[in-house]
């Protein structure tokens, strides 16, 4: 006969065994960011802190990135199951044989912007002719400059490109060793802080160059075997971004807590700019993260025109909206924007 004490011990052991089984059942996912963590990544850290990914059966490991080229290559090669990358860069990497699919866009608008000093005499894009533009040689915006030049009526070969590192752009502008540079809009506040009233700016989308920006990409082979995992990841991520647009402070705090050295005030400004990049008619009315097929066709054409593509692929096979929860939409935002 088994005594009550023995039964209790067995019950505790069984509970522990069940807990271990549930823990081991969580799918380990290595998610690589496009860059080192910043305000634009706050929702992932918030959802992880709140246990949303864990509750969805995902043991999420967030890895720091070193550019969209790196995150695209690693995800396409299967070294990371999921990644975050500028979609244009991801499409170029697909053209080099990378096996991946985009499953959710974060930046519904292109973050590309042009910056200069008003004191240089530049008033708009046509004044860039004959000027020096500083940018890393691998920068996607630099590769797509001919498209913008064509839109604004400037000879694309009339500018001189100066090779500088990303963190040297502001110093080069201030020293006037370059006349202009390109940068992502989510760090617009840093340019404003340093350049003040002398800062000139226009978003590329103003002139019709508006490819999708940062997007969630998934290794194609992993997706085939783990569709439920990806569906869960996308829906948790949608929920996190929607929540953080509505109530940003807890999300930014979660980011700062997980990444020592970040300052709350700066990252909250970054996040505010990101919300502008997230908002378009499709994210507001169809679903947060939705890819418009017409825009995807246009992005694919843009990439094929201005980048070397070795491996041809059908764009319809490289993105999907099937995992999006259509009930989760981008909230309206109320802030004065330099982006529109």
Tell me the C-alpha distance between 196 and 184, whole Å: 17
β-strand pairing of 82-86 with 199-203: unpaired
Rounded distance, CA 156 to CA 336, Å?
A: 32
User: pLDDT tens digits for 216-253?
Assistant: 999 999 999 999 999 999 999 999 999 999 999 999 99
What CATH number does residue 131 fall under? Answer: 3.40.190.10
Q: Between the CA of residue 223 and those of 81, 132, 170, 294, what are the distances in Å?
A: 8, 44, 40, 24
Helix extents (H) in 40-156: 42-49, 52-55, 68-77, 87-94, 140-143, 145-152
The pLDDT assigned to 6 comes to 45
pLDDT at 17: 43
Please spell the DSSP secondary structure of 215-280, one letter per residue. Answer: EEEEEHHHHHH-HHHHHHHHHHHHHHHHHHHHSHHHHHHHHHHHSTT--HHHHHHHHHHHHHHH-S
Q: Would you say 136 and 142 are in contact if contact means Cβ atoms under 8 Å apart?
A: yes
Domain shared by 265 and 168, yes or no: no
Rounded to 5°, angle at Cα 288 from 273 and 257:
50
Question: Does 130 share its domain with 161?
Answer: yes
Question: Has residue 171 been placed in a domain?
Answer: yes
Say if residue 215's pLDDT is above 90: yes
Predicted model pTM: 0.89
Tally of domains within the chain: 2
5 found inside a domain: no
Q: Are residues 234 and 289 in contact, defined by beta-carbon separation less than 8 angstroms?
A: yes
For residue 16, pLDDT over 80 is answered with: no
User: pLDDT at position 329, please?
Assistant: 98
C-alpha 159/C-alpha 34 separation (Å) is 29
Look at residue 43 and tell me if it is in a domain.
yes
Residue 224 in domain: yes
Instruction: Report the DSSP beta bridge partners of residue 319.
Output: 102
Q: How confident is the model at residue 10 (pLDDT cuts 50, 70, 90)?
A: very low
* Beta-strand relationship, 132-135 and 82-86: unpaired
The confidence band for 93, taking pLDDT boundaries of 50, 70 and 90, is: very high
On whether both 202 and 236 belong to a single domain, the answer is no
If pLDDT is split at 50, 70 and 90, which confidence band does 166 have? Answer: confident
My answer on whether 234 and 102 are in the same domain is yes
296 falls within a domain: yes
Residues 6+ apart with CB under 8 A from 313: 94, 95
Task: Print the domain residue range for 310.
Answer: 25-109+211-317
User: Do 31 and 122 sit in the same domain of this protein?
Assistant: no
Question: Among 207, 229, 258, which residue terminates a domain?
Answer: 207
On whether both 198 and 311 belong to a single domain, the answer is no
Q: What percent of the chain has pLDDT over 90?
A: 85
**8 A C-beta contact, residue 220 and residue 100:** yes
Distance between CA atoms of residues 75 and 97, nearest Å:
12
Whether residues 123 and 80 fall in one domain: no
Residue 331 lies in a domain: no
Assess if residue 333 is contained within a domain: no
pLDDT for res 23: 45
* Domain identity same for 78 and 163: no
- Report yes or no on 29 lying in a domain: yes
Examine the pLDDT at 18 and tell me if it is beyond 60.
no
Q: Are the CB atoms for 251 and 45 separated by under 8 Å?
A: yes
Q: 319: which DSSP letter? A: B
Whether residues 313 and 215 fall in one domain:
yes
């Amino acid at each position: 006969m088994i005594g009550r004490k023995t039964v209790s011990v067995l019950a505790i052991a069984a509970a522990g065994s069940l807990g271990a089984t549930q823990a081991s059942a969580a799918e380990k996912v290595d998610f690589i960011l496009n860059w080192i963590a910043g305000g634009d990544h706050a929702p992932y850290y918030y959802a992880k802190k709140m246990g949303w990914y864990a509750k969805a059966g995902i043991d999420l490991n967030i890895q720091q990135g070193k550019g969209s080229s790196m995150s695209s290559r690693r995800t396409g090669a299967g070294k990371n199951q999921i990644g975050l990358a500028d979609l244009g860069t991801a499409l170029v990497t697909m053209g080099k044989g990378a096996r991946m699919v985009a499953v959710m866009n974060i930046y519904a608008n292109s973050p590309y912007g042009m910056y200069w000093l008003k004191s240089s005499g530049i008033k708009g894009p046509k004044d860039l002719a004959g000027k020096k533009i500083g940018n890393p040689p691998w920068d996607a915006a630099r590769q797509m400059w001919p498209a913008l030049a064509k839109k604004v009526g400037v000879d694309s070969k009339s500018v001189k490109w100066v090779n500088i590192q990303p963190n040297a752009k502001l110093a080069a502008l201030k020293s006037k060793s370059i006349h202009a540079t390109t940068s992502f809009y989510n760090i617009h506040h840093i340019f404003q802080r340093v350049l003040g009233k002398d800062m000139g700016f226009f978003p590329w989308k103003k002139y019709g160059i508006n490819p999708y920006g940062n997007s969630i990409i998934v290794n194609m082979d992993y997706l085939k075997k783990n569709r439920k995992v990806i569906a869960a990841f996308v829906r948790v991520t949608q929920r996190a971004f929607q929540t953080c647009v509505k109530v940003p402070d807890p999300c930014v705090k979660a980011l700062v807590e997980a990444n020592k050295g970040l300052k709350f005030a700066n990252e909250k400004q970054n996040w505010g700019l990101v919300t502008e990049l997230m908002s378009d008619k499709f994210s507001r009315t169809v679903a947060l993260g939705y890819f418009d097929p017409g825009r995807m066709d246009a992005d694919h054409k843009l990439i094929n025109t201005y980048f070397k593509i070795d491996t041809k692929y059908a764009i319809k096979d490289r993105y999907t909206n099937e995992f999006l929860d259509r009930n989760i939409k981008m909230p309206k935002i109320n802030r004065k924007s330099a982006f529109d």
